Amino acid sequence: MKILVTNDDGVFAQGLWTLVKTLKKVAQVIVVAPDREQSAIGTAVSLRQPVRVQQVNPLVPGVETYSVDGTPGDSVILALANLINDIDLVTSGINHGPNLGDDVLISGTVGAALQGYLHGFHAMAISVDAWENPYFDAAAELAALLAKRIGANPPPTNIFLNVNLPNLPPAQIKGLEITRLANISHTNTVKEENGGKEGYYRLIRQKIDKTAKKKTDVWAIEQDIISITPLHINLVNKPSPHLLNNLCADLLQELRRNQIL
């Protein structure tokens, strides 16, 4: 099995290399990721400017690694078109901070995975609900288990998963749910800055204080539960009832047996 790993936090981000170190135990891993942090850039691609690619020294020995002077989406497009062949899975993350509800529309992490899905590959984005002191190891182990299952028994159609974990010690995570996107989780406002001088504004994204509906991704994280949300081109579609039955059957039990949670 061969896995392309990318992210939106930059090619040398801690979350990416925690993921690579774990995935390398179950598959051949190749990294193609932006050369700098690219959060909230969504599905952006560079259409009117050149994009440079440079091979760099990996933080995990033996992993072919490329740095891209472009967006997360650029990284995946370039990887699939020019850098590597015979990919089985595109994995994006592990992201600092969650990607829930309407955030998936601006997430560079999800945008990178989407490019893999649009190019006909299984894809997943994986994030941890933390900006500081993240617990990445459980997320990496979960990604590896999902990758093994996809490799051993590939779903009949390509899948696109958005995986979010609460930022807790593994023993404190209360469960795992297949979820749907919450209808909304944030609103955008504008703040004028620089003492009222014209032309200086800051876009602010604020969480809406409302109760999330049960079985949504926001609800799961609020309940200290892992959320796995299948996404589609129409991102607010409900999950297909049987899409993940085989892939996720007894997944929580396996995480417990392996002492990951």
Q: Over the stretch 129-182, which tens digit does the pLDDT of each residue have?
A: 998 999 999 999 999 999 999 999 888 788 999 999 999 999 999 999 999 998
How many beta carbons lie within 10 A of that of residue 122, not counting itself? 25
- In this predicted structure, the answer to whether residue 88 has a pLDDT above a threshold of 80 is yes
For residues 167 and 133, give the distance between their C-alpha atoms in angstroms, rounded to a whole number: 9
Give the percent of the chain with pLDDT over 70: 86
pLDDT in tens, 185-206: 555 555 556 655 566 766 666 6
Token representation of residue 192: 């004028």
Average pLDDT, the chain: 87
The CATH architecture to which 2-182+211-257 belongs is 3-Layer(aba) Sandwich (3.40)
DSSP assigned state of 227: E
Tell me what pLDDT residue 41 has.
84
Span of 7-11, 102-106, 153-157 with lowest mean pLDDT: 153-157
For residues 111 and 74, give the distance between their C-alpha atoms in angstroms, rounded to a whole number: 10
